[in-house]
Amino acid sequence: MAKVPVYMPKFGMTMTAGLIAEWLFAEGERVERGKPIALVETEKVQTELEAPATGVLTDIRFQDGAEAPVGEIIAHVITED
């Protein structure tokens, strides 16, 4: 079992933070690697944030509507292996 961090990605050269528009899963729900788990808004676009691993979403640190700095851990995925 591993605790895989979910980071706020950098979608553009000047991006310093992103807005969590919506989590598509709640804590405790199973997510799959490469599938969307949240919608993130920047100044120019809204895009899907993909799960970095398959497992259970946990430790959501920024709720819907919150802004998170690029590179910040915003949640974790607990893997099953």
Each residue's pLDDT tens digit, 32-60: 999 999 999 988 789 999 999 999 999 99
Please choose, from the candidates 59, 57, 21, 52, the residue with its C-alpha nearest in 3D space to the C-alpha of residue 38: 21
Domain containing residue 73: 3-79
Please provide the size of the chain in residues.
81
> What's the per-residue H, E or C state across 28-52?
CCEECCCCEEEEEECCCCEEEEECC
Please report, for the domain that includes residue 41, its CATH number. 2.40.50.100
Give the number of domains in the chain.
1
Q: What is the pTM of this model?
A: 0.91
What pLDDT, on a 0 to 100 scale, did the predictor assign at position 44?
Answer: 79
Distance of CA 9 to the CA centre of its chain: 8
Query: Is residue 80 very low, low, confident or very high in pLDDT (cuts 50, 70, 90)?
Result: confident
